[in-house]
A and B are shown apart, each in its own frame.
Chain A
Amino acid sequence: MQLEESSRMVQTTSTLEARTIPDSTLGQIHADNPRMKARNVDVFYADKHAIDNISLDIGSGQVISFIGPSGCGKSTFLRCLNRMNDTIDSCRVSGEIMIDDQNIYDSSIDVVLLRARVGMVFQKPNPFPKSIFDNVAYGPRIHGLATSKVELDHIVETSLQRAGLWEEVRDRLDQPGTGLSGGQQQRLCIARAIAVSPEVILMDEPCSALDPIATAKIEELISELREQYTIVIVTHSMQQAARVSDRTAYFHLGKLIEVGDTKQVFTNPLHALTQDYITGRFG
């Protein structure tokens, strides 16, 4: 035990000395049961190389968190996973991102279908300026998930329940979603995302605009949702990553520096840059 500890120390120190960006990602990019697989993904915004050759598995039924300093490409990579980057004219993506052995950037893929399978929750809560009910019902409606009003009501209710919002809004479903508090709005957005029964939920700093209590609620919610969904969460909070995620990926200047089990990354980072970041030396 003693020996193991010290040998590990030696190894860490040796990498710590070299604060250069490694040629390839350290740690384990593979997952046992991958839901999505990214291989050699590069992203350019016009001439800017925002994502540099990243390969990563998103494990099924797991929560994986992306951490790293601002501007390192976490959001960009996240938005590749449901092709939200398509909306940015200057953005070019190369490489492969597979879901069920199908490349989502393949021309045969219907992006509407993809986004129904890979839902998204944004940094700033963005409910539609419609009623709470309509916010949640919007996805099921456009995808034709409910065949009757009763079924739609049921979907809305269970989605709000899963998002932990049902008790708070059950009496005012017809009131505007924009009238809720920030934390409630974000949970409404989560309810809206899960109403279409996605397989993967992408969350881009979902708590950055929320107060600590609302944040705690969302984290609790993520822990509950992990049973049914695969979740990818971008976060600025190391504690949050440590609390909610099974795996953690550290990004730096468009590169994926290292990825591994959350516990390992936080207690025993493989790379000096990761170490610097999680100990708060920069970020």
Chain B
Amino acid sequence: MSNQVSFGLSPERAAERVAESISLRKRRENRFLFLGKSAVAVALGFLVLLFAGILSKGIPGLFQHYVTLDVQLDAERLDPSGQGTLESLADGDFDGVVRDALYEALGGPTGRKAKRQARRLISSGSGQRLMHHVLDNPDQMRSKVALQFAVDDDVDTFLRGLISRDTPEADRRVSDQMISYIDLLQAKGRISYEISDYLFFGSASRDAEMAGIRGALVGSILTLLVCIVIAFPLGVATAVYLEEMAPKNRLTEIIEININNLAAVPSVVFGIMGLAVFIVIFGMPRSIPLVGGIVLALMTLPTIIISSRASIRAVPPSIRDAALGVGASKMQTITHHVLPLAMPGMLTGTIIGMAQALGETAPLLMIGMVAFIVDVPSGVTEPGTVLPVQIFMWADFAERMFIQKTSAAIIVLLAFLITMNAAAILLRKKLERRW
């Protein structure tokens, strides 16, 4: 009898209790599942909102309005000395030629006032554009060609329907006379809405219709190049040393803690340091991608070091044993076996670091990469700016068209980022090996 008591539950009773606990467990699991799914749904929702917002604003920014004009390429006016070089073309009256083509398209406006209104229709950079066209197509000289010129940013805004005809003329940036001209051009089918070549091939400009991101894009690429050339080898070397060679003592412990701390330092601090060290002490010029790249490299180093160490640690010790066991030296073990196996992880970390660097604004403001620079930098020591800083600057301008350009630049930045990540994933897939 006492035996049975100490034995506890009868099998039937036990089965009942198990059944009860199973239904309880099931309910808990379902609740957990539901929470997880809602979390994912919320995150996805925000992502969709974000992308919808950016795309709906940014895609119109990728386009702009052009007016097609029949330009008479008069050699005497455009290239008085007839050499066809940039220097000789500088004396040409390109603005005048474009203007004449415009007047012709408008049916010959008379009077200074009417002409002035007509000139306000097209971008002030039209003469420049024509000059580059002539430079690239010398054989078209002396013929009459149909060319597209950007309309002025206010006209563009009007054409997008963002300026109403009903607004009193005094409060409108587009006059009645201009509106009638625009209607005339549209009736003749001379106004078109196309992908903006200014956006991709133009550089910084105060005129919204001519502003482009080429300079900033090149600046970003140069800055990132400097950044990766410095940060990747340095980060990997540091990680290898700390993981494989450094003795475990007080000093390396302090170094480790500080690297982790560095990862949490606000980026603007790196900018101040870059300003103080590279520009003030070393006397390097401001605004150059070289300094920007160094600053960003310092900023991304902790990320690269931490992720590289993690991936080195993930290499199975049995592989190290195998190499050491056949008589490989420590260095050979690292370079022949550990590094190739850790490389995919290291690249992932590096790409994350680079993505951070690509989107960084604050430290670059500190070292002056916010300057208004029209020329596209042709090297790392020439002043330039980068995409996020360009976006930051544009977002500050009052002209309406800059809002669209800003959104378009954001799309380009995101596309750059996605391309970079995709390249990294491909590279990693190629390098990844199973063990």
Interface residues of A (CB under 8 A from B): 82, 84, 87, 89, 112-116, 119-122, 124, 126-129, 138-139, 142-143, 176, 178, 189, 192-193, 195-196
Known: A89-B248, A128-B319, A128-B337. A143 touches B327 (CB 8 A): yes
Q: Would you give the shortest CB distance from A274 to chain B, in whole angstroms? A: 30
Known: A122-B318, A178-B435. A128 touches B323 (CB 8 A): yes
Which residues of chain B (371-406) have a CB below 8 Å from chain A?
none
Question: 19 A-B contacts, Cβ less than 8 Å apart?
Answer: A84-B325, A87-B321, A89-B248, A112-B328, A115-B324, A119-B326, A120-B321, A126-B319, A126-B321, A126-B322, A127-B322, A128-B323, A129-B434, A138-B336, A139-B327, A142-B336, A176-B434, A192-B322, A193-B325
Most buried by B among A115, A176, A196: A115
Report yes or no: A87 in contact with B322, Cβ–Cβ below 8 A: no
The distance in angstroms between the C-alpha atoms of A112 and B332, with both chains bound, is: 11
Please provide the 8 A-B residue pairs with the shortest distance between their CB atoms, ordered closest to farther: A116-B327, A126-B318, A139-B326, A120-B325, A115-B327, A129-B435, A126-B322, A129-B433
- Judged by a CB distance under 8 angstroms, whether B342 is at the interface is no
Nearest neighbor of A193 in chain B, beta-carbon distance: B326
**Can you list, as one digit per residue, whether each of B303-339 has a CB less than 8 Å from chain A (1) or not (0)?**
0000000000000101111111111110010001100
Interface size class of B (residues with CB under 8 A): 20 to 34
- Contacting residues, chain B, for A128 (C-beta < 8 A): 319, 322-323, 337
Report yes or no: A115 in contact with B321, Cβ–Cβ below 8 A: no
Nearest neighbor of B248 in chain A, beta-carbon distance: A89
Report yes or no: B318 in contact with A192, Cβ–Cβ below 8 A: no
- Contacting residues, chain A, for B325 (C-beta < 8 A): 82, 84, 115, 119-122, 193
- Contacting residues, chain B, for A84 (C-beta < 8 A): 321, 324-325
Report yes or no: B332 in contact with A87, Cβ–Cβ below 8 A: no
Report yes or no: B328 in contact with A142, Cβ–Cβ below 8 A: yes
Most buried by A among B318, B321, B324, B325: B325
The distance in angstroms between the C-alpha atoms of A116 and B325, with both chains bound, is: 8
- Contacting residues, chain B, for A121 (C-beta < 8 A): 325
- Contacting residues, chain B, for A129 (C-beta < 8 A): 319, 341, 433-435
Q: Would you give the shortest CB distance from A169 to chain B, in whole angstroms? A: 18
The distance in angstroms between the C-alpha atoms of A127 and B318, with both chains bound, is: 9
Known: A89-B248, A128-B319. A142 touches B326 (CB 8 A): yes
Report yes or no: A196 in contact with B326, Cβ–Cβ below 8 A: yes
Report yes or no: A178 in contact with B327, Cβ–Cβ below 8 A: no
- Contacting residues, chain A, for B435 (C-beta < 8 A): 129, 178
A189's partner among B320, B322, B324, B433 (CB-CB below 8 A) is B322
The distance in angstroms between the C-alpha atoms of A89 and B317, with both chains bound, is: 14
The distance in angstroms between the C-alpha atoms of A256 and B405, with both chains bound, is: 81
B327's partner among A89, A122, A196 (CB-CB below 8 A) is A196
- Contacting residues, chain B, for A114 (C-beta < 8 A): 327
Q: Would you give the shortest CB distance from B184 to chain A, in whole angstroms? A: 72
Q: Would you give the shortest CB distance from A177 to chain B, in whole angstroms? A: 10
Report yes or no: B318 in contact with A124, Cβ–Cβ below 8 A: yes
The distance in angstroms between the C-alpha atoms of A121 and B326, with both chains bound, is: 9
- Contacting residues, chain A, for B318 (C-beta < 8 A): 122, 124, 126
Q: Would you give the shortest CB distance from A113 to chain B, in whole angstroms? A: 7
Q: Would you give the shortest CB distance from A185 to chain B, in whole angstroms? A: 11
- Contacting residues, chain A, for B327 (C-beta < 8 A): 112-116, 119, 139, 142-143, 196
The distance in angstroms between the C-alpha atoms of A189 and B321, with both chains bound, is: 12
B322's partner among A89, A122, A142 (CB-CB below 8 A) is A122
Nearest neighbor of A189 in chain B, beta-carbon distance: B322
Which residues of chain B (132-182) have a CB below 8 Å from chain A?
none
- Contacting residues, chain B, for A115 (C-beta < 8 A): 324-327
Taking A112-B327, A115-B327 as given, write out 18 further A-B residue pairs in contact, using a Cβ cutoff of 8 Å, ordered by the A residue number: A84-B325, A87-B324, A89-B248, A116-B326, A120-B325, A126-B321, A126-B322, A128-B322, A129-B319, A129-B433, A129-B435, A138-B323, A138-B336, A142-B327, A176-B433, A178-B434, A192-B322, A192-B326
Most buried by A among B325, B326, B332: B326
Q: Would you give the shortest CB distance from A243 to chain B, in whole angstroms? A: 25
Q: Would you give the shortest CB distance from B324 to chain A, in whole angstroms? A: 6
- Contacting residues, chain B, for A138 (C-beta < 8 A): 323, 326, 328, 336
Most buried by A among B319, B327, B434: B327
The distance in angstroms between the C-alpha atoms of A119 and B327, with both chains bound, is: 8
- Contacting residues, chain B, for A143 (C-beta < 8 A): 327
Report yes or no: B332 in contact with A142, Cβ–Cβ below 8 A: yes
Q: Would you give the shortest CB distance from A114 to chain B, in whole angstroms? A: 8
- Contacting residues, chain B, for A139 (C-beta < 8 A): 326-327
- Contacting residues, chain B, for A82 (C-beta < 8 A): 325
Q: Would you give the shortest CB distance from A202 to chain B, in whole angstroms? A: 9
- Contacting residues, chain B, for A119 (C-beta < 8 A): 325-327
- Contacting residues, chain A, for B337 (C-beta < 8 A): 128
Nearest neighbor of A127 in chain B, beta-carbon distance: B322
Nearest neighbor of B332 in chain A, beta-carbon distance: A142
The distance in angstroms between the C-alpha atoms of A82 and B316, with both chains bound, is: 21
The distance in angstroms between the C-alpha atoms of A116 and B320, with both chains bound, is: 15
- Contacting residues, chain B, for A127 (C-beta < 8 A): 322
- Contacting residues, chain B, for A189 (C-beta < 8 A): 322
Q: Would you give the shortest CB distance from B148 to chain A, in whole angstroms? A: 57
Q: Would you give the shortest CB distance from B89 to chain A, in whole angstroms? A: 61
